[in-house]
Structure 1
Amino acid sequence: MPGARQTSLASQHDVELCALAATGQRQAFGELVRRHGSAVRGLLRRMGAQSAEADDVAQDAFLAAFERITEFRGEGTFAGWVKRIAARAYLRRLQKERRLGALAAENGEDETHALTGDADGRIDLDEAMKGLGPAERLCVSLCFGAGLSHGEAAEALNLPLGTVKSHVKRSLDKLRARLAPVEGVVAAGRSGNG
């Protein structure tokens, strides 16, 4: 019978699973973790967390979400809600370790990672994000990965609103340029399919 219950939970919508979890059904919350755990860890890695740290913060975020599940009203997505919890938990960790000020102070001018792709000219978002400066990566991850407004990101990072907007715009410009198809690769790909 456990397999049937898993199938039943797997077919439930996130809002329904949250309602079940709010009544104490841990398996329902486990299904939410299974569905969204990798996305939360991915956001944290894009924000600059190393793999093990991303796992730790994601676990803390899901525990906090479970404890506060009755606060989730279904007005947005569960994934967005838990990502905001995770992003804020990561920022608190950086503040506690006094790394946030150092990261936010960097303006991205002297990047440590070059924006280079593989031999085929392809690059994924995670690779492209590594080419951003630490402050740019944090700002764009908070605004687009965690769904915070520019104002909320500025408050979370203790930066002026204009600085956050500049970091986000600069980041998006860099990401667009880096993720844009390379003409030779696109043409080669089209001729191979014809």
Structure 2
Amino acid sequence: MTQPGLSDRHDVELAALAAASDRRAFGELVRRHSSTVRALLRRMGAQPSLADDIAQDAFILAYERCTEFRGEGTFAAWVKRIAARLYLKRREKEARYVSEDSAEDQVSSVDPLGRFDLDAALQTLSEAERLCVSLGHGAGMTHPEIAAALNLPLGTVKSHVKRGLDKLRQILNPGAGETGRDSHVG
């Protein structure tokens, strides 16, 4: 009698198999979640090639630590947190070599058909706002976790998240602020 295919199994079951050194099971997890991990890293500000590299490193680390995944949250959220932390460490390590441009490029976040582009809208935020919003809403981190990861006071993180979300609301739904309506972004 044959076992169900790996694609039919739940992430928690695949993670348990991977913890027992089943590389095919972990490969299925990578197949399922690699694009969302790379997308989070790009939204945090990583260039595509760097996002690919960090995503790969995150999955390698996740495989090595698969026994630590308890299934209390989703596997996707767990591996996104690993990737986000790796990106922040890389940013911190390279910060001394990178100088920021004073002029930021304005990116259109609405296409001709009126659809919005969240990635373009995120690029209009300050780096701190983009990181805080991406970590909170993309990686599922709490405000205290973001504060610890970025080494910022909790109040500062909350301010960055609030300002970032307010700016995104204005960019993605410009009429909402004028009429008093509020839309949910995230």
Question: Alpha-carbon deviation of 1:177?
Answer: 2.0
Q: 3-state SS of the aligned residue for 2:70?
A: coil
Verify the 8 A CA contact 2:107 2:121 in the aligned structure 1: no
Mapping for residues 4-15 of structure 1, pairs under 5 Å:
8-15=5-12
Verify the 8 A CA contact 1:111 1:132 in the aligned structure 2: no
Cα deviation code 1:79-136 (max 9, x no counterpart): 0000000000000101111269978xxxxxx753345422222212112111111111
Note the residue ranges of structure 1 that are not aligned, 5 or more in a row: 104-109, 184-194
TM-score (norm 1): 0.82
- Structure showing greater radius of gyration is 1
Q: Are residue 126 (structure 1) and residue 119 (structure 2) matched?
A: yes
Mapping for residues 1-194 of structure 1, pairs under 5 Å:
8-98=5-95, 111-180=104-173
Verify the 8 A CA contact 2:30 2:59 in the aligned structure 1: yes
Note the residue ranges of structure 2 that are not aligned, 5 or more in a row: 177-186
Closer/same/farther in 2, CA of residues 161 and 118 from structure 1, 3 Å limit: same
Structure 2 CA distance for aligned equivalents of residues 130 and 18 of structure 1: 34
Q: How many residues align?
A: 175
Identity percentage of aligned residues: 64
What letter matches 2:172 in structure 1? L
Question: Alpha-carbon deviation of 1:160?
Answer: 1.7
What letter matches 1:39 in structure 2? T
Larger CA deviation: 26-35 vs 169-178: 169-178
TM-score (norm 2): 0.85
Closer/same/farther in 2, CA of residues 13 and 176 from structure 1, 3 Å limit: same
Structure 1 CA distance for aligned equivalents of residues 74 and 32 of structure 2: 12
